[in-house]
Amino acid sequence: AQSVTQPDIHITVSEGASLELRCNYSYGATPYLFWYVQSPGQGLQLLLKYFSGDTLVQGIKGFEAEFKRSQSSFNLRKPSVHWSDAAEYFCAVGESGYSTLTFGKGTMLLVSP
């Protein structure tokens, strides 16, 4: 069965600093990988997704993620964090032929002034 691990429950980053959120997955074949963001009191919004091809994926709001098969990782990055990026971030994995996703437990990003 597939699984997703987000090792960091909380991360605090200063505004303007760079950000990296970690995600490790467990899945036998090439997975479909997603990053979602949840602002307080809101539903989840897709930031980016990886299916195949170029391992560096660009998303909305200046985010990018890199798929590393050898490390089973799909880390999310942003060069310069804005206060509005404070939210909870979820990594998810999907499986070819199945519509369901498995979500990680999330990482709460706090942005300090």
Residues binding other proteins (CB under 8 A) = 9, 32, 34, 36, 41-46, 49, 51, 90, 94-101, 103-106
Cα torsion 24, 25, 28, 29: sign: negative
Q: Which residue lies nearer to other proteins by CB, 34 or 111?
A: 34
Task: Evaluate whether 83 touches 15 at the Cβ level (below 8 Å).
Answer: yes
Instruction: Give min distance, CB of 99 to other proteins, in A.
Output: 4
Q: Which residue lies nearer to other proteins by CB, 70 or 100?
A: 100
Containing H/E element for 103? Answer: strand 101-103
Instruction: Give min distance, CB of 108 to other proteins, in A.
Output: 9
Collapsing DSSP states into helix, strand and coil, what is residue 8? coil
